[in-house]
Structure 1
């Protein structure tokens, strides 16, 4: 919350109260949110990464992810430009000097998503805001059972990059009742050696890197999880790693997969006889 308030104050948005009629979004998560809140008619431009829902693809491309095409955006005459907080803050002056409000919102966690619903919903006067906040709060109020399994979340494989502490994968793993194998690594997204991985041996691997058959790789097939097929690679990573409306269902799907796994291995680990 403090981070969001700082961004708002820096951009001078707290005093902005005019009605928003035209919006350009450079964040896939925020584009989804605008559609989900019932404000698609306000969108006039998007980034090339904004690909959901399908209706978003018909909008003019006005930048890459958090990288604005200045002339294109100005030509679209938006009242509001919304983007991830990874954008260069200095670029906002180019737009604010032309009367375009700039809203840079962090989109790294589920908590960020709730704050974005709250602020953006109010700014767009969206009728669906209260319902979405209730949906999030109901989800967060449920405590999943502790599963006692360690998960490695692979972001990329060459070099090997995993989700560490305070990352979005770390939060999702905890919301599923599991433990993050890399949770003690202080960097949110970090490189690690295969030697470290082999020594720590995950119970399960969630693979969001490029598609590949790990059993055909000499190093990866040395892991017991790979040998026994304990690799999840068929849940769309873009749903889980994009803090937006579909993320809750993505976490529920992962929860069910992990619960099914623990139910399957429980008889094997509890002993054959009482």
Structure 2
């Protein structure tokens, strides 16, 4: 006969994810598969690393994540057989980072909670909700509150400095309106030079020169921009400040946000 404690452990908690989907999760979940690197790091930082049984090959933080958990493929190509073998009782995904067909296939068998993040408020809500559904609500709430407080202390520049944020080369691609990166640029007092475009448009060197941003940020990910690329952007915008920046601190919307505000402050040009 099951004890009252073991029976209680399998009572489902029905929650609504950030896509508006109702998801019934055995509470607390014991076998979690994370399909998103930033959410994997969040789980570990919430003290839930021992419950994470599956991660993607891109889940590089913490370093032990891919050693302690099984690697179930990439963010857009899941190994369904490996996931089935893990018998997850919760899968965490994301609308943008994962692919709809794969998520739909998993949702037939397992509780799949999806995040959908474009703003800092979305990210803070995700942190609190993941903490709630995974069983560490107080720790998650405190983390989210601390992150919010750190961003509230960022100075506001008037007028804002114009900036272009590049995520890819050949073709050039930038983070434009409607992206989490654009949100963080605005939080740091930068006006996106490509705010008139949406998401991640391709741009030419001529378009960059015409936009004439005061600052050009070259992200360390997904394309690994390095010092060797500075000159080609400087040629298009001789008067711009061209810098390599830590892409994780601009685009990882989990617990890494604890360090983002201080990093953004360090990038704000002196008046």
Distance 1:242 1:6 in 2: 17
Secondary structure at 2:261 match in 1: helix
Query: Paired residue for 1:170, among 179, 182, 188?
Result: 182
Distance 2:209 2:243 in 1: 18
> Does the CA-based 8 Å contact 1:164-1:188 persist in structure 2?
yes
Q: CA deviation at 1:44?
A: 0.7
Q: CA deviation at 1:108?
A: 4.0
1:117 aligns with 2:127: yes
CA deviation profile, 1:211-268 (whole Å, cap 9, x unmatched)? 2534543x74242235xxx2121x321232111211242232122221xx323xxxxx
Distance 1:215 1:41 in 2: 42
Query: Paired residue for 1:201, among 185, 207, 212?
Result: 212
Corresponding residue number in structure 1 for 2:144: 133
Number of equivalences: 248
> Does the CA-based 8 Å contact 1:118-1:133 persist in structure 2?
yes
Q: Structure 1, unaligned stretches of length 5 or more? A: 264-274
Distance 2:55 2:139 in 1: 21
Secondary structure at 1:68 match in 2: coil
User: What does 1:28-177 align with in structure 2 at a 5 Å threshold?
Assistant: 28-58=37-67, 59-86=69-96, 87-92=98-103, 94-98=105-109, 100-126=110-136, 127-142=138-153, 144-147=155-158, 148-177=160-189
Distance 2:152 2:261 in 1: 14
CA deviation profile, 1:128-164 (whole Å, cap 9, x unmatched)? 1221121133234335221531111111121111111
> Does the CA-based 8 Å contact 1:152-1:182 persist in structure 2?
yes
Inter-CA distance 32–109: structure 2 relative to 1 (3 Å threshold): farther
CA deviation profile, 1:102-144 (whole Å, cap 9, x unmatched)? 1121244322221211211111111412211211332343352
Q: CA deviation at 1:8?
A: 4.5
> Does the CA-based 8 Å contact 1:108-1:243 persist in structure 2?
no
Q: Give the TM-score, by structure 1 length.
A: 0.81
Corresponding residue number in structure 2 for 1:271: none
Secondary structure at 1:111 match in 2: helix
Deviates most, 153-162 or 128-137: 128-137
Corresponding residue number in structure 2 for 1:213: 228
Distance 1:115 1:183 in 2: 25
1:225 aligns with 2:239: yes
Corresponding residue number in structure 2 for 1:180: 192
Corresponding residue number in structure 2 for 1:22: 31
> How large is the Cα RMSD of the aligned pairs?
2.3
Secondary structure at 2:92 match in 1: strand
> Does the CA-based 8 Å contact 1:27-1:66 persist in structure 2?
no
Distance 1:97 1:178 in 2: 43
Distance 2:111 2:120 in 1: 25
Q: Structure 2, unaligned stretches of length 5 or more? A: 1-15
Inter-CA distance 125–197: structure 2 relative to 1 (3 Å threshold): same
